[in-house]
Structure 1
């Protein structure tokens, strides 16, 4: 479905770059609605210690240099040995250790990450995680602690049923009885609110008629809504294939002849900017080919429904951008290519589900609005329209995929200090910057994010040299999208210093060492540099990452101000290697 000039479209449910656009006025970034938000408490700002970050009650939020070696065993056994010895530093009582249930073990030749979920009386505790990273030799190299303290026993019997909770959540969101439900999931959890500990129903709803993927916690005894939050991460919107976009590949500027959106119209220049590529692992069944493969699956699951996931008798998917099929093909190629890079080239496992590695996406979703999103509950992507169609720009495609990668690596998404927005920006720019024949570091456009979708009359786009005029933590900018640029910029600068694959791998493996929605940029940066050291990077490479993270931007310098601890090969946790 093409855009109608001047028409406003219904907003949909998203984890995305948000930008509201009309045909007459320049877009302004959108933010998630706040009128339905309830019971959301900002995470406590931690205090920096010599070996990690600590909360006001003395419990460690993260321990960067644990300095503990367990006896060689399976990763879970070594992690539990550490916890038995050092549980006090995490604010846990010994009796509470039995309530830590293994959620996932991410095995690696160099280190493994054991991720626990805290439970109480057999129920999982809401947003309560603990991750211990340990080498095969038993050296604990990083601990991320998001457990809850001060939990009280709860009445385990639900006085309100699961169906009651779902009805309560739907009514709270104002959904009519006949609303089209895109995704719905309900499960029992324990939730600690400022007033006490509760047994609740955790309901996640995504439906036509309300913008966002809403998580609603309903008290199983009283039916009271204790917490409600839109879990989508919003971002700025746009997108055969553009390689990675028609402006970067031709070194052209928006509004030069032939290089405008023109309500999705074809031009000779935009048609010529397409690149011939191979669509790998598409499905051939019943005499037709479809965009469904190992790492990507086109599915028209979100409004509007317009059959944009084309199936055909020919294996040649050659379309120009005026055809709705173009965006589905363009998205398939870029998702498939980047998922192969992460999972095969980098050797980092990051997939939506172990049994289904394909990323499900809708190239024309979001209710037709100028938004795109990743939704953690359904683990799906959708791309909107407005200005330039989002799915025409590889930066938008991989940014939204980046939210998913963050989720799959860390087990949850943190938007503290805009971390996940920065993660999406970093993955996207790292991907698009490696295409040949584009802008060079001498060009301002080299540092532009969303080169085709943004930096035009629709919206201003973003950059990955944000650190030149900003510092951590007090001058990151306003809002998660601005703040996220700092993370993307610092990591991209490190990438320029040590090379693409090396930094991309450290970035991904570092994120896998974190967990919880309160992880901030400094904690994540420390995890990245610790991961590099654990993977056997040279001292020179580690120092270069440290230089990018710590050296500051004064006197023409280009560094950041995280003040992370830079590991050395003589540090206790790294001294003996990881054989």
Structure 2
């Protein structure tokens, strides 16, 4: 960087929080719902106190996602309790009208989306005011079963959802780093631990509480830390701290991407390690899809902005295989990594003169900078394309990161990041800056219209790119 559970294989997922509608005595009229009412019996369970009948809601013979009906019969009194979780289905014609996508095509889309082999598919109804038919395909990548919905009319992937039951844990982290959080540029690698403030956070998506492995991050460090209780409270003098930092900040980055509506932008358990490299450097290795953080100077993983920069490379590699096959594409990669650190910091950091968002890696860089604010690089520079290109990707990346920062300012964080991430899918592995900029402008036009596209174009024009 510096030059730098339980697999779910049930017929349906039962909804929660359904209203309790009635309690009444069992009579022949209430003994069992008729299948013609759009209910199919899927399970009968006997417990100490009663017998429980679970039904799946159907429409035109197809399961309605999340729709259920349950009848609980008390053994002693015969009283019946009903939970009615049926969903509204509106605007959908019967008779498979509009189904033009085959099961095989849906399976192929789900496999491409999740990276796992398909083992079950069925036609289902996605409920609501504008209900639709979709193929529900279950695949099994290495990280556990995933349910993918593929629109039965258009073939578009609607969503992909992990079916693995996840745990949560707690840990201590820097958010994003101590210089920023404490607004203190005098901290150094040799400062006593008492000088640092830590944040206690929730560690989401753990496959099990006893190790830092989950849906979006996989700790492959030597001597990985473990906890039977899911509590990972370390300080920076302990090796476990950097491992927790990596898990938390990679996970939150991917959670943010998912919140923007992207189901398949590095949607995986990203390998990372915080041990084994003693250099004051970090890197993403696309050959093995792993991020390695160095321990020279300030341990790189202590600074979330370093983590986010390296994760930016993993993001682009997942969207465009072999991205960075030209010097300008490599510079775009470095510039995007710096921008990704910038925009992730927007959510958790103050934008001050001491630690501006544009200053990347304020904490890590205390080891090799003397002035303040401490910055590895900045995203608010004045370099121009092509005159300021010098052939070094980190230097040249400052042209691209400034343009992206200006897009962010013009469109707002959310819209800008949707445009930027969506545009990546159209980049060539060896793209030039002008070509990538034009793709980004076109993406803004498609997503938000002419005004947004003109703002994006102006950001790139200001750097001489287009």
Distance 1:432 1:474 in 2: 30
327, 346, 353: which is aligned to 1:433? 346
Distance 2:113 2:284 in 1: 23
Partner of 1:276: 200
Matched, 1:323 2:238: yes
Distance 1:444 1:325 in 2: 27
Asked if the contact 1:497–1:545 (Cα under 8 Å) also holds between the matched residues in 2, the reply is yes
Partner of 2:368: 457
366, 379, 386: which is aligned to 1:473? 386
443, 446, 458: which is aligned to 1:531? 443
Shift of 1:479: 1.0
Distance 2:261 2:174 in 1: 24
Matched, 1:424 2:346: no
Distance 1:477 1:461 in 2: 18
For the residue of structure 1 that corresponds to 2:181, the secondary structure is coil
Asked if the contact 1:346–1:501 (Cα under 8 Å) also holds between the matched residues in 2, the reply is no
Matched, 1:397 2:307: yes
Q: Encode CA deviations 1:40-68: one digit per residue, 9 max, x unaligned.
A: xxxxxxxxxxxxxxxxxxxxxxxxxxxxx
Question: Which sections of structure 1, spanning at least 5 residues, go unmatched?
Answer: 1-15, 20-72, 75-101, 108-135, 138-239, 553-559, 564-579
Partner of 1:488: 401
Q: Encode CA deviations 1:52-105: one digit per residue, 9 max, x unaligned.
A: xxxxxxxxxxxxxxxxxxxxx99xxxxxxxxxxxxxxxxxxxxxxxxxxx9x97
Partner of 1:267: 193
Matched, 1:510 2:423: yes
Distance 2:354 2:456 in 1: 24
Shift of 1:336: 0.2
273, 288, 293: which is aligned to 1:378? 288
For the residue of structure 2 that corresponds to 1:451, the secondary structure is coil
Partner of 1:249: 181
Shift of 1:456: 4.8
Shift of 1:347: 2.2
- Give the 5 Å matches for 1:120-199: none
- Give the 5 Å matches for 1:194-343: 240-253=172-185, 256=186, 259-262=187-190, 266-270=192-196, 272=197, 274-284=198-208, 289-300=210-221, 305=222, 307=223, 309-343=224-258
Partner of 2:321: 411
Distance 2:304 2:405 in 1: 17
More strand by share: 2
Distance 2:389 2:355 in 1: 21
Partner of 2:276: 365
For the residue of structure 2 that corresponds to 1:290, the secondary structure is coil
Distance 1:531 1:420 in 2: 18
- TM-score, scaled relative to structure 1: 0.49
Partner of 2:164: none
Shift of 1:513: 0.6
Asked if the contact 1:245–1:392 (Cα under 8 Å) also holds between the matched residues in 2, the reply is yes
Q: Which has the larger radius of gyration?
A: 2
For the residue of structure 2 that corresponds to 1:247, the secondary structure is helix
Shift of 1:266: 4.0
Q: Number of matched residues?
A: 301
For the residue of structure 2 that corresponds to 1:381, the secondary structure is strand
Q: Encode CA deviations 1:363-404: one digit per residue, 9 max, x unaligned.
A: 1232x2222111111111111111110000111101111111
Partner of 1:498: 411
Q: 1:489 to 1:105 in 2, by over 3 A?
A: farther
Distance 1:348 1:524 in 2: 22
243, 259, 262: which is aligned to 1:347? 262
For the residue of structure 2 that corresponds to 1:544, the secondary structure is helix
Q: Encode CA deviations 1:546-566: one digit per residue, 9 max, x unaligned.
A: 22111x3xxxxxxx2211xxx
Distance 1:455 1:465 in 2: 20
Partner of 1:84: none
- Give the 5 Å matches for 1:546-561: 546-550=457-461, 552=462, 560-561=463-464
Asked if the contact 2:175–2:348 (Cα under 8 Å) also holds between the matched residues in 1, the reply is yes
Partner of 2:456: 545
Shift of 1:477: 4.3
For the residue of structure 2 that corresponds to 1:374, the secondary structure is strand
Shift of 1:445: 3.2
Q: 1:492 to 1:455 in 2, by over 3 A?
A: farther
- Quote the RMSD (CA, aligned, Å): 2.6
Distance 2:257 2:304 in 1: 16
Q: 1:439 to 1:456 in 2, by over 3 A?
A: farther
Distance 1:266 1:298 in 2: 27
